[in-house]
Structures are given as structure tokens and as C-alpha cells.
Amino acid sequence: MIAPQPFFEPRGTPFSVLGRLRALSELGHEVDLVTYHIGRDVPVPNVRIFRTPRIGFIKSVKIGPSVPKLFLDVLVFAKTFQMLWNSKYDLLHTHEEASFFGVLLAKLFRLPHIYDMHSSPPQQLKNFEVTGFGPLVRLFEWIERRVVASSNVVITICPALQDHVDQMQSAVPHVMIENVGSEIDLNVVPQGRMEEISRELSALGNRRIVLYAGTFEAYQGLDLLLDSAQIVAKVNNDVMFLMVGGQPEQVERLQTRVDQLGLGRNFHFTGTRPPEEIPVFIQASHALVSPRTSGTNTPLKIYSYLNSGKPIVATNLYTHTQVLNADISMLVEPEPRAFARGIMEILQNPALASMLGKQAREHFERNYTFQVFLQKTNQVLQLATR
């Protein structure tokens, strides 16, 4: 398996990679993972992690395309080639842009190839404003079509990507496996850490907590959340917006804006936390929010939110509505007053909050359990090796 990511760090694609590893391990397979030198090892039975050489001046990799990522991908290719040359494997499973060279290596070493599509590369160039240069975008579109056509099977993570593959190469087998395989067991949080988190939450006082958990990238819509919070705090002055995630510089930027808005007493930033701690914060909350304003992929947090049984407030955009509906969440327009109304309706109507949370949990149990994840993973393997 080839993952051109900082594995493991608590963010989208690394979570998905962890889910794939756990599923393959559970199904009895042995996996060698090639990944960046950045990240911490996560013990998974039957999985060995092989990292690229440590590069001292690259200590982190931001989300989305970047020059450091391109440099590290060359090292990933070299490491992958070396391992394929020296050992015998039954299958090659590549994530994201590793598929670009993965299809070539699969042909060279006569291996079935699985392309794990977490996003569309040409779309990423636009979303992250890397380039709007038409010829380069079209080149990536051509490469993407060739990669899909050359793969034995494609894994997609949401309906938007499933439809995207349908439109490109409908004849190529493609299976949608939602990102639920990395759900964390609360029992793995050390007792000492649980006590520290409990003290941190107790220090917030007897407040109604609105939680956001995830990265602090621009597309997540956190500016929308702050503008909405200003409205909510005027009506519910005891509300506490609990912000779990973010790199230090991102937290500092948002904290500055919070202070400028006069919301200092209504916000608490935890910074990035280990993934096993996130459910603890979720369970302490009264409402969960996803204010994302752009993109089409389903936010990974949505599955954790559904699983929690807590009421969800989310923007009424396809990024959410391909999974959420009005029976299991509060869907509102992506503008401050509407988002604020959605939050206040949840906080002021306990019966509605309880109903939405209960129905969300039931929806998760019907559609997104680990058993379903395993069944779909096995289906992909059967398609790849038939």
C-alpha cells in the first residue's frame, strides 16, 4: 500500500488510510505500507510501515498540493520501486497521487492495482488555488482518466467522487467505501489523559457546548462559524464554542479574530488532539457543527458526528447533503444568520435535539458500521483479483 501522506496525523486521508489498514488486517491480509517520514507509527496487526528517508528541512506537509509534497512523492516512488524489486507482492494499493506512478509499477511488476481516490487531482488544483492554468489542469484531467482506466478497481469515499468516476470511466469497477473504518475506541484513551480532559471540560463551567472538530483550513467555513457565533452569543450568552483541532498558527489567527469580535469568553481552543480523544469532547457537547462552505467531498467528521448520537448543524451544500438529510441533521444555508438560527434551534429545543441525534445514530448503525466497511473492502479485493 502506498500512501503519499504524513501517516499518521489526525486529518482526512491519513484517517482513511488507517481505516483501510485495519480492514485488511481484520480480513487476514499482510500489508507493507510505504509513506512519508512524517507522522507517528500506529500499531495494526499484520502491517509493517516503511518510510522515506528523513528530510531535515521538511517537518510538516500542509493539506493539498505543494512543492514539498512533490519532492516527497519522488522519494515514495523510489522506495516503492525498491520494495517491489526486492520482494514479491500480490497486489498494489495506492492512495491519491501515488496512483499516477502506481498504475505504471503495477503493469511493470504484473500486479493488480487498486486506486483509492480521496479527491480529484485536477479539482484539488482549483480548490487549493494552486493554479488556474488551463493546459495544466487539462493535463491532470487526462492523467486522472488514464489512471482510472488502467486500474483494476477504484475506491471512492463519497457519492460526489463515485459520480465523477461514473462520468469518466463507468466500465471500470468502482466501489464507494465511506470513511468510517478509523472510528476510535474510547477505551484506548489512557486514564491519566481522561482525567486531564475532564478537568479541561470542567473548567468551561456549566455551559452549553457547541463543538467543531477538524482541520482549520479555509474551506471548512470557520469564518462563517465565527460570524454565526456572534449572533448566537447575543441570545445565549452562556454558549461555549469548543474548537478541537488546528495548527498553532491557525489557532492563533482565529483566537485573534474571536477577541476582536468580543467573543473571548465564548470560545475555547484545544489545538490538535490525538484522534482517540475526539470522542470524549464530542460526548461532552450539546451540538456538533460543520460549517463547510466549499468542496464536494463529505467531511470525515460527519461520520463521527452521526455515530455520536448528538444533533448536527451543517451547511445545506452537497458536501453534506450527499450523506445528511433533514431527518438526521439541521441543514441550513451557508450564511451567518441561517447558521446561527440552526444552532439556536438545537440549543433551545431539547426534544428536537434528542430526536435528530437519535435518528442520526440509527442511520449510522444501518449504513456505516465497521462490518459494512469490511464487506465493501472484501468486495474490492475480489474485484481486483478476479
Q: Domain of 104? A: 2-180+369-385
- In angstroms, rounded to a whole number, what is the distance separating the alpha carbons of residues 25 and 370? 13
Q: What is the pLDDT of residue 71?
A: 95
Q: What is the pLDDT of residue 261?
A: 97
Question: Taking the CB of residue 252, how many other CB atoms lie within 10 A of it?
Answer: 12
Q: Where are the beta strands (DSSP E) in 245-293?
A: 267-271, 287-290
Q: What is the pLDDT along the chain (386 residues), one digit of tens a residue?
A: 999 999 999 888 999 999 999 999 999 999 999 999 999 999 999 999 999 999 989 999 988 888 999 999 999 999 999 999 999 999 999 999 999 999 999 999 999 999 999 999 888 776 666 666 678 888 999 999 999 999 999 999 999 999 999 999 889 999 999 988 655 554 578 888 999 999 999 999 999 999 999 999 999 999 999 999 999 999 999 999 999 999 999 999 999 999 999 999 999 999 999 988 999 999 999 999 999 999 899 999 999 999 999 999 999 999 999 999 999 999 999 999 999 999 999 999 999 999 999 999 999 999 998 999 999 999 999 999 99
- In angstroms, rounded to a whole number, what is the distance separating the alpha carbons of residues 168 and 76? 27
Q: What is the pLDDT of residue 133?
A: 67
Residues 17 and 61 in one domain: yes
Q: Which residues pair with 146 in a beta bridge?
A: none
Grid coordinates in use for 383? 474485484
- In angstroms, rounded to a whole number, what is the distance separating the alpha carbons of residues 74 and 154? 23
Residues 373 and 296 in one domain: no
The total domain count for the chain is 2
Residues 137 and 273 in one domain: no
Residues 244 and 98 in one domain: no
Q: Which residues pair with 116 in a beta bridge?
A: 95, 155
Residues 106 and 203 in one domain: no
Grid coordinates in use for 249? 498558527
- In angstroms, rounded to a whole number, what is the distance separating the alpha carbons of residues 252 and 267? 13
Query: What pTM value is reported for the model?
Result: 0.89
Residues 116 and 200 in one domain: no
Residues 164 and 239 in one domain: no
- In angstroms, rounded to a whole number, what is the distance separating the alpha carbons of residues 38 and 113? 25
- In angstroms, rounded to a whole number, what is the distance separating the alpha carbons of residues 13 and 10? 9
Element (H, E) at 68: helix 67-86
Q: What is the pLDDT of residue 188?
A: 72
Residue located via cell numbers 456572534: 230
Residues 161 and 194 in one domain: no
Residues 77 and 206 in one domain: no
Residues 172 and 198 in one domain: no
Residues 8 and 137 in one domain: yes
Residues 163 and 250 in one domain: no
